[in-house]
Structure 1
Amino acid sequence: MSKLTLIANIIAKPEQVEFIKAELIKLIAPTRAEQGCLGYDLHQDNDNPAHFLFFENWQSRELWQQHMNSPHLKEYLAVTEGKVASFTLNEMTHIG
């Protein structure tokens, strides 16, 4: 399989925007250090500051799944429970 690209959209609850932003930023350094991580970039929508987007590239789906079970991601999920309005994840295959 070719490189796996992921688009993760996180919409924070309005009163939790700064908290969610801080917690998402904490994920960047440890994730970038993981085996198979080719890119892990966080963005914030200019018109809707509650909307965050991770643009991720991984060497393989298997290595991304290891990331999904990492201690830092599990900690993020625990501390942000109930503070996120919505979350969507798209798995994409690079074709050109």
Structure 2
Amino acid sequence: MSELFINVVLYAKQGREQQLHDALKVVVDASRKEEGALRYDLYRDQADPRRFIFVEHWASHELREKHHHHGPHIKYFEAHHADAVERMEAAYFMDRVK
């Protein structure tokens, strides 16, 4: 098992920025409590408040996959708030260069 670092950039639909902000905060709070979540932070771009950036650090790929595919808070977000996302601008899955 090796560590995993992730950056994901989401872009909110016009007029849905606050809804997405509130929904993502719930995801962050729940995700931080999950096994293997070493860091799970959410940022908002100062120049464009429609852009949200996740910075994640997981103990292993397996625990991140468990979070992403089985986390009840992720499933709730997908069912109730994913339509507030206009697009995913980027997703980077990275290994630390020692």
- SS of the equivalent of 1:18 reads helix
Contact 2:2 2:61 in 1 (8 A): no
Shift of 1:2: 3.0
Q: Output the CA distance in 2 between the equivalents of 1:81 and 1:63.
A: 22
Residue type of the alignment partner of 1:17: E
1:59 Cα deviation from its structure 2 partner: 0.5
Partner residue in 2 for 1:36: 36
Counterpart position of 2:2: 2
Identity of aligned residues (%): 30
Aligned to 1:49: 49
The aligned length equals 96
**Alignment-mate amino acid for residue 3 of structure 1:** E
Is the CA contact (8 Å cut-off) linking 1:30 and 1:72 kept in structure 2? yes
1:81 to partner: Cα distance: 3.2
Residue in 2 that maps onto 1:62: 62
Question: Unaligned 5+ residue runs, structure 1?
Answer: none
Q: Tell me the distance in 2 between the aligned counterparts of 1:50 and 1:28.
A: 17
1:91 aligns with 2:93: yes
Gaps of 5+ in 2: none
Deviation at 1:79, TM superposition (A): 1.1
The aligned counterpart of 1:82 is 83
TM-score between the two structures when normalised by the length of structure 1: 0.94
Instruction: Give the match's secondary structure for 2:82.
Output: coil
CA RMSD between the two structures? 1.1
Q: Under a length normalisation based on structure 2, what TM-score does the superposition of the two structures give?
A: 0.92
The whole-number CA distance in structure 2 between the counterparts of 1:51 and 1:81 is: 14
